[in-house]
Amino acid sequence: MKKYYISLVTGTTLLVALAIGWGFGNSRQSKEEKNLAVDTRIDNLNYWLDKAKQGLVPYNPETRIIPARFTGSKIIASGVLTEDSPDVPITTINSTQSENSVFVDPNDPETILNSNNSSENPLGFIYGADEFHSHDAGEIWEGKIEGVSGDNSGDPAAAIGLDGRWFINYISLYGGVGISYSENQGSTWTSKMISPNPGIMADKNHLWIDNIAISPYIGNLYVAWTEYGGLLDTEIAVALSHNHGANWTSKKAISTDILAGSHNQGVNLSVGPHGEVYAVWAVYDSWPADESAIGFSKSLDGGTTWSPANRILDNIKGIRTTEAGKNIRVNSFPSATVDVSYGYYRGNIYVTWANIGVPGINTGDDVDVYMIRSSDEGNTWSEPIKINQDESGLGKKHFFPWIVCDPSNGTLSAIFYDDRNTSVTELEVYCANSEDGGETWEDFKVSDVAFTPTPIPGLVDNYFGDYLGITAQDAWVYPAWTDNRTGTAMSYTSPYRLNPMVKPENLTASVDFETGVCQLSWSYNLSPGFLHFDLYRGYNLISTTTDTVFQDALPDYGYYDYKVTALYQGNKESGASRTSTQWGDAHITLLTDSIYESLSMDSSSVKKIELVNTGQLDLHIEASPFPATKTV
């Protein structure tokens, strides 16, 4: 068992000397020599602790934790069935828990596997990626704070297969890539080495599993990471297993065509509805610097070959070195998910990250969470869409996004830290859901407290964790995060339920100007238990129908909002598809043909222009640059 023990021992002169040597190292080293001895691109916890032990970097100091403020456990979101979801600690065993990975059992939406970076509190042993699980939708958790299969270097990534096997991937104790699996729901674990230390360290790994029943590669496991040292230095490497993690292929680089100016890091894997494998990551074109692009590669043959990597979004500005003003280290590593449901957006790929200002403009004090999507296996991508729905331009910070798509219904859910309603030093945890392929989002507070993040004492590099987690299945959503409400960094969840019914999509409205008849149409994928559609004008139910078209005779000129839902057996109603339209227009008639007047210097004149609205709807007139406006 590897031990990191940081407290100064005062029992004997010898021990004091040893502790001081550990904490401060060789005082004869210059600052430049120390900087050269530390690769600041690496984010792994044990790497930084080794450098602190050598005296090259300082430990995080003991700091007074500002008490958290209770802000309520109510969830205020129309698309969420859960109205009250008090936060649940994943463990209460004295420890520190950070960097959260969570995965729901594809066969049982109430069974969840979680892994976090774990250490003793006060800091002594560094356990690495641990293991906790729940069989009752996140209400009660079991597990242990020690590293799964023994101590490791953390960076946890969890997964559960269709066969019920549990997996936790991590950086191994000596800097390679490892994985442990359990065939008895965590009672015992078997560890396997995926790839050895490449020379300096493997870093920021991610694991995904092919749980697609019709995939020719069902059960395949994919693990990717960044290599530091060796022939693939600073590249994204990937390996795969065809036999449930027992054996692994040799690693291969998938990012070399990016030609990153500095390095590639923060890889995230996902699988499509036919076994397609997608990888995204952050590109750094200089260092130290913020993230500058998002890299992408895909495999259409179960990970055997990979497409040449390309930049699916260039000219972004992440927060790696600019930071977010919270006294903790941060990043803009991307998170991705794929819609593998049988809904309207099946096959869509979604990628999210945190950006300073609007992507491509990259200015201002805001840090917002953005998303891009592809509907053609990553060949083309949408313009960025902002996920957090608070007003831009106020300097608010939103970061560490993670995204998931419920494989049963296609609903997107994301988690992120957020300070829209806190002081400049505090954070809350927010989630956001989208039922229309990421086009629109509803976000809401999910944590019960506002807390002040603080670097975990005894660790290094202002570490408080590098990512959050979220998973979903059968309309159950499980966000997981770290906060320090108890005075110690610990992991929490706040499960909630979505409306699980498949809803109509693409509602459109077209009004005949002469008759006022509104032609409505929508699309729908027939689902079990469907009874009929409910069509609303405003808040009024105007029709129930099994058709996907309807004609509505409007009562008068005006503006109208429509929505259509699907009703299922048991009187269960889906979410809505919405649209707006109008009958009539505003028309302007100018009664004054022209005005002409010659004025001498320093003189003024007032003339009247008479406007008449001859249309059916109100006309709003603004005479720029004059501030006055009038409705006629």
* pLDDT tens track for 324-362: 999 999 999 999 999 999 888 999 999 999 999 999 999
Q: How far is the C-alpha of 576 from the C-alpha of 507, rounded, in Å?
A: 9
Q: How far is the C-alpha of 114 from the C-alpha of 478, rounded, in Å?
A: 10
Cβ–Cβ under 8 Å, residues 412 and 434: yes
Cβ–Cβ under 8 Å, residues 498 and 433: yes
Residues 6+ apart with CB under 8 A from 626: none
pLDDT in the model for residue 590: 60
Residue 565: CA atoms inside 13 Å, Cβ hemisphere, count?
A: 19
Q: Which pLDDT band holds residue 593 (cuts at 50, 70, 90)?
A: low
When mean pLDDT is compared across 91-100, 413-422, 608-617, the lowest value belongs to: 608-617
CA angle in degrees (0–180, nearest 5) for 221-180-481: 85
Q: How far is the C-alpha of 253 from the C-alpha of 307, rounded, in Å?
A: 11
Task: Give the position of tokens 């976090």.
Answer: 116
Cβ–Cβ under 8 Å, residues 388 and 368: yes
Whether the predicted pLDDT of 607 surpasses 90: no
Mean pLDDT calculated for residue range 401-405 = 98
Whether the predicted pLDDT of 262 surpasses 80: yes
Mean pLDDT calculated for residue range 556-578 = 90
pLDDT in the model for residue 169: 98
pLDDT in the model for residue 33: 64
Cβ–Cβ under 8 Å, residues 299 and 244: no
pLDDT in the model for residue 34: 63
pLDDT tens digit sequence for 407-425: 998 999 999 999 999 999 9
pLDDT in the model for residue 575: 79
Query: Phi first, then psi: what are they for 222, rounded to 5°?
Result: -125, 130
Express as a percent the part of the chain with pLDDT over 70: 89
Q: Which pLDDT band holds residue 527 (cuts at 50, 70, 90)?
A: confident
What's the token pair of residue 303? 């990970």
Range 79-82 contact pairs with CB under 8 angstroms and sequence separation of 24 or more = 79/411, 79/433, 79/435, 79/442, 79/498, 79/499, 79/575, 80/433, 80/444, 80/496, 80/497, 80/498, 80/499, 81/475, 81/496, 81/497, 81/498, 81/499, 82/495, 82/496, 82/497
Domains and CATH numbers, the chain: 69-497 (2.120.10.10), 505-583 (2.60.40.10), 586-632 (no CATH)
Q: How far is the C-alpha of 516 from the C-alpha of 535, rounded, in Å?
A: 18
The enclosing H or E element of 433 equals strand 428-434
Nearest to 99 by CA among 398, 444, 331: 331
pLDDT in the model for residue 35: 64
Q: What are the CA-CA distances from residue 415 to residues 352, 428, 432 (Å)?
A: 11, 11, 7
pLDDT tens digit sequence for 107-132: 999 999 999 999 999 998 999 999 99
User: Which amino acid appears at position 521 of this protein?
Assistant: S
Mean pLDDT calculated for residue range 65-83 = 93
Q: How far is the C-alpha of 89 from the C-alpha of 83, rounded, in Å?
A: 19
Q: Which pLDDT band holds residue 363 (cuts at 50, 70, 90)?
A: very high
Nearest to 254 by CA among 303, 204, 205: 303
Whether the predicted pLDDT of 22 surpasses 70: no
pLDDT in the model for residue 542: 97
Express as a percent the part of the chain with pLDDT over 90: 81
Nearest to 151 by CA among 176, 125, 175: 125
Q: How far is the C-alpha of 541 from the C-alpha of 534, rounded, in Å?
A: 7
pLDDT tens digit sequence for 286-333: 999 999 999 999 999 999 999 999 999 999 999 999 999 999 999 999
SS3 track for 288-352:
CCCCCEEEEEEECCCCCCCCCCEEEEECCCCCCCCCCCCCCCCCCCCEEEECCCCCCCCCCEEEE
The enclosing H or E element of 472 equals strand 469-473
Q: How far is the C-alpha of 115 from the C-alpha of 126, rounded, in Å?
A: 14
Mean pLDDT calculated for residue range 96-117 = 98
Whether the predicted pLDDT of 133 surpasses 90: yes
How is 153-198 classified by DSSP, letter by letter?
----EEEE-TTS-EEEEEE-TTSSEEEEEESSTTSS-EEEEEE---
β-strands 367-374, 349-356 pairing: antiparallel
pLDDT in the model for residue 31: 55
Mean pLDDT calculated for residue range 581-592 = 75
What's the token pair of residue 6? 């940081």
pLDDT in the model for residue 10: 35
Mean pLDDT calculated for residue range 515-522 = 97
Whether the predicted pLDDT of 6 surpasses 70: no
Q: Which pLDDT band holds residue 364 (cuts at 50, 70, 90)?
A: very high
Residue 18: CA atoms inside 13 Å, Cβ hemisphere, count?
A: 10
How is 21-43 classified by DSSP, letter by letter?
HHHH--TTS-HHHHHHT--TT--
Nearest to 405 by CA among 532, 467, 491, 498: 498
